[in-house]
Structure 1
Amino acid sequence: MLQIQLPIYIIDAFTKELFKGNQAAVVPLDRWLPESVMQSIASENNLSETAFFVRNDAGVYEIRWFSPLKEIDFCGHATLASAYVVFNHLGEKGTIRFWAKAVNTIEVNEREDGLIEMSFPNRAPEKLSTIPEALQTGLSISPLEFHKNQQAYFAVYASEDDIKNVVPDLEKLKTLAPLDVVVTAPSKAYDFASRYFWPANGGVEDPVTGSIHAGLAPFWAKRLGKNDLIALQASARSGVLYCRVSEERIFISGACKAYLEGSISIPC
């Protein structure tokens, strides 16, 4: 059977330390593979996300993200990892653009301080007046309030200790699909902290979730009265995100650490 070789990179995103942050697999392509093949690769990788991208004739990188379970509309950490690969392995410098159907154009810049900055749409959440029962009973510690955006329910707590100690009932939270659940609170050492549960879309807990900060950053900017914030995602691996809020766009920056460069063989 004939095989084709595809490059693959595994990058720890939103961290300067190996084995921290969120792992993403990145597979650059010359042309799109069948969707079933991309899903099989992502399932085989068994990471939060595998990103695939193709550079089009306009020089824009069309990008798609797959969890082990399904294709995802929007993924920040795998976009950061993809940008790292483009800048460090594919010879691009300065500014690049990704495009995805759910979020349109994502402009990405190399910062002078070594961080990579991504421009996301502002996805500020709105407060919920009616709370789904599975959300009310699906977290072991009751939050102060609930909000929601296109991606997830937001459970807001008084302290970072609450979100570190909260235990999700994954079977209940799974019934909230297609939305996930983020828990968040002010942070002791940072501006705010969060954890992200996504049993219906990818797994138990996502280590670091760039996309949800397009909602978290404007929420906390309004609460804290500041537009430049540093966020902690308080998972077991943990990660740090640097956020800048404008009216229309949310700028999320982070570091990356390369873990693996190799190739995969698939039948053609």
Structure 2
Amino acid sequence: MKIKINVVDAFTSVRFKGNPAAVVITGKWLSNEKMQEIAAENNLSETAFLVEDDNGVFTIRWFSPMTEIDFCGHATLASAYVIFSENYQLSHISLFAESVGMMKIVKKDEGFIQMDFPNRMPHPVNDVPEALLQGLSIKPKSVLKNNQAYFAVYSDEDDVLSVIQDSEQLKTLAPYDVVVTAPGTQFDFVSRYFWPANGGDEDPVTGSIHTGLAPYWAKVFGRSKLMAYQASKRGGIVKCEVTGDRVLISGQAVSYLEGYINI
């Protein structure tokens, strides 16, 4: 059986930058085992699988090469890019994920796609795990946590750019990942995302974690609209807007591959 697949670079307008994600849209769900095998074969941060219902709502699931993920922003952006590219008349779509709920996705100017996500504000951690401190080469000034990751906050962008992770230490924090962040120079804030427990050493651009980063920095700066940069080797730009219990995450995307897989 042949199934169409797209690979899209998300949170960038430049091919080979941002975060690549595979998108597979089918008429009915493949088995969990088959989806995991496809994601492992793709060996990208995430592969998104989507099925459309009779009302035009797409249910989406995300798989890393290792496991199913409960929330992935860049693969959601990649999926929306594919749907909009194949349906030019659409200005917005609805996506549903069991762990996130309904997400309204809107096509904006200059190629940006805006995604409406839950606000996942992190909260301070009183007892910082020793594995976190041992797993980062530079000690953070403060540590917070939400239901996705530990937030290691630094005072200076250079610390975020320079910090070296110890994957074996950070892996013991599972199911939590680790994001390091600081105020930026050219952007409001910068970050890097380490996730050895769930997918790989460092994720190129992580849309989901900005639902925690944006409200944190919005409170620090006292304003709701922010521009962020995830400072991985590939790098990516993320527009953020905090609106109460929701966070609007926007990014651009560019197609890399269209083809078919045989299963």
Q: What TM bracket, shorter-length normalisation? A: over 0.9
Q: How far off its partner does 1:226 sit?
A: 1.1
Contact 2:111 2:253 in 1 (8 A): no
**Aligned positions of 1:130-145 closer than 5 A:** 130-145=127-142
Q: 1:11-46: CA deviations, max 9, x gaps?
A: 000001010000000001100000000000000000
Equivalent in 201, 204, 213 of residue 201 of structure 2: 204
2:87, 2:203 → 1: CA distance? 28
One-letter amino acid matched to 2:130 = E
* Cα contact 1:60–1:99 (8 A) shared by 2: yes
1:153 to 150, 153, 156: 150
Q: Tell me the CA shift for residue 88 of structure 1.
A: 0.2
Aligned residue identity for 2:159:
D
SS at the partner of 2:44? coil
CA displacement at 1:59 relative to structure 2:
1.4
Which residue is equivalent to 1:59? 56
Percent identical pairs in the alignment equals 57
Shift in alpha-carbon separation, 1:210–1:156, aligned structure 2, 3 A:
same
Residue of structure 2 equivalent to 1:233: 230
| TM-score under structure 2 length normalisation | 0.99
| Structure 1 residue 248: Cα displacement | 1.1
Tell me the residue number matched to 1:116.
Answer: 113
Residue by residue over 1:204-250, the C-alpha shift from the partner in whole angstroms, topping out at 9 and shown as x without a partner, is 00000000000000000000111110000000000000001111100
**Which deviates more from structure 2 when the two are superposed, residues 9-18 or residues 106-115?**
106-115
Alignment of 1:78-117 (within 5 A): 78-91=75-88, 93-117=90-114
Amino acid of the structure 2 residue aligned with 1:128: V
| Structure 2 Cα separation of the partners of residues 210 and 258 of structure 1 | 18
Residue 44 (structure 2) aligns with = 47
Partner of 2:17: helix, strand, or coil? coil
Unaligned runs of 5+ in 1: none
Q: When the two structures are superposed, what TM-score results if normalisation uses the length of structure 1?
A: 0.97
Deviation at 1:113, TM superposition (A): 2.9
Q: For 1:113-157, what per-residue CA distance to the aligned partner results, in whole angstroms no more than 9, with x for missing partners? A: 320000000000001111111012110000000000010000000
Whether 1:77 aligns to 2:74 is: yes
SS at match of 1:163: helix
Please list every run of at least 4 consecutive aligned residues from structure 1 whose deviation after the TM superposition is greater than 4 angstroms: none
Residue 251 of structure 2 corresponds to which residue in structure 1? 254
1:21 aligns with 2:25: no
Q: Distance in 1 between matches of 2:155 and 2:109?
A: 36
Q: Distance in 1 between matches of 2:88 and 2:37?
A: 29
Letter in 2 for 1:233: Q
Amino acid at match of 1:100: A
Quote the RMSD (CA, aligned, Å): 0.8
SS at match of 2:185: coil
Contact 1:86 1:92 in 2 (8 A): no
Alignment length, in residue pairs? 263
